[in-house]
Amino acid sequence: MTVRLSVVTSLYKSAEFVGEFYRRAADAAARLTPDWEIVMVNDGSPDNSLERAIELHRRDPRVRIVDLSRNFGHHKALMTGLLHSRGDIVFLIDADLEEDPAWLSTFYEAMQATRADVIYGVQRSRKGGWLERATGAFFYGIFNKLLTFPFPRNVVTARLMTRRYVNALVQHQDREINLAGLWVITGFDQRALDVNKGKRGGSSYGMRRRISVFVNAITSFSNRPLLYIFQLGICVILISIVAGLVLVYKSFTGGIGVPGWASIMVSIWFLGGVTIFCVGVLGIYLAKVFTETKNRPYTVVRHVYEPAEDSSGER
């Protein structure tokens, strides 16, 4: 059974936001159509996010809950939500209220005016302190130099999508998912819309996780690092030839006090570092090949709370 509009989100440590998110999302959806649903994916949240979502489901059967068997990660949870959505148009948004569900009306007006398949949000100015803004600018700068299909800068999760775009998006079977990359390579007519993203205390994306996302995005969507390794190897060979000629000249002119020491130490440290770096990059790519060839599902659904269930939550 299809509906006119699906609102899709994921829950992880979201207990304090679930009720307010539902209220805002339901209000925004009701302004567009009476035929809507909210799909909440519980991504193994350690708090009582699931219990609060089930309470909403019992009060309003238009709230559908996909309960994953454990924490699989933000991007995989959102993709699972899209797989379970039934709307002719789908509004994807985070549940932490940094992104306002009321944006739905603005996004819908833009979609109607442009006839685009996707309206996605980009921050007018990146939120956070100087360190977060600086690292964000650095990461996006490196991203777009290494990727074949550059990501929009400061893109947010919130986006309104047509069913044909969502159907194409969920055809991707990557096990190592980076949503920003999948959004871009799926194609179709996509238009950006400036938004002002809010801010809440704390973040599930610490520096370590940001670096992990950065590496995953590059190695999932670009083979340029492998090309750069080849070019680096050529540079090392040329530098070694020049250094060798210089050292041979100095050895004949008495410019080296302890013969061989300088060349050996420089060679060991320089080539050792280059070797470790290159092997590490190759290892990341091999690890991804290993993961993808296993063909495991990227999430495992424990239970789906559907409108047809009784008040006990049993099928």
Q: pLDDT tens digit string along 119-145?
A: 999 987 765 566 666 666 666 666 666
The C-alpha atoms of residue 124 and residue 103 are separated, in whole angstroms, by 14
Residue 312: predicted pLDDT:
39
Distance CA 27, CA 7 (A): 12
Residue 299 class from Cβ within 10 Å (0-12 exposed, 13-18 middle, 19+ buried)?
buried
What is the reported pLDDT for 127? 57
Q: Helix (H, G, I), strand (E, B), or coil: what is residue 115?
A: coil
Write down the pLDDT at residue 133: 64
Question: How large a percentage of the chain has pLDDT more than 70?
Answer: 72
Rounded Cα distance, 245 and 249, in Å: 6
The pLDDT value recorded for residue 197 is: 84
In terms of pTM, does the model score above 0.75?
no
| pLDDT value at residue 93 | 97
Which band of pLDDT confidence, cut at 50, 70 and 90, is reported for residue 105? very high
Q: How confident is the model at residue 258 (pLDDT cuts 50, 70, 90)?
A: low
What superfamily in CATH does domain 3-202+297-305 come from?
Spore Coat Polysaccharide Biosynthesis Protein SpsA; Chain A (3.90.550.10)
pLDDT single digits (tens) 38-51: 999 999 999 999 99
> Given this model, what pLDDT does residue 256 score?
61
At residue 111, does pLDDT exceed 70?
A: yes
- Which residue did the predictor score with more confidence, 266 or 232? 232
Find where tokens 């790519």 sit: 285
Is 70 exceeded by the pLDDT of residue 23?
yes
pLDDT at 62: 96
Confidence of residue 260 (pLDDT cuts 50, 70, 90): low
For residue range 285-298, list pLDDT tens digits in order.
Answer: 777 776 667 667 77
Higher pLDDT, residue 254 or 276: 276
> Which range among 53-57, 81-85, 192-196, 307-311 shows the weakest confidence by mean pLDDT?
307-311
Q: Which residue has the higher pLDDT, 238 or 89?
A: 89
Give alpha helix (H) positions in the chain.
15-32, 49-59, 74-84, 103-114, 130-146, 163-169, 179-186, 207-221, 224-253, 261-294
Average pLDDT, the chain: 82
Structure-model confidence comparison of residues 243 and 163, the more confident one: 163
Can you give the length of the chain in residues?
315
Picking from 107-116, 195-204, 240-249, which range would have the lowest pLDDT averaged per residue?
A: 195-204
Look at 102-111, 199-208, 259-268 and tell me which has the smallest mean pLDDT. 199-208
Cα separation, 103 vs 226, in Å, equals 41
Mean pLDDT for 171-196 is: 87
- pLDDT at residue 33 in the model: 95
According to the model, what pLDDT value does residue 315 have? 36
pLDDT digits (tens, 9 = 90+) for 190-226: 999 999 887 765 555 555 666 666 666 666 666 667 7
Q: What are phi and psi of 84, to 5 degrees?
A: -95, -5
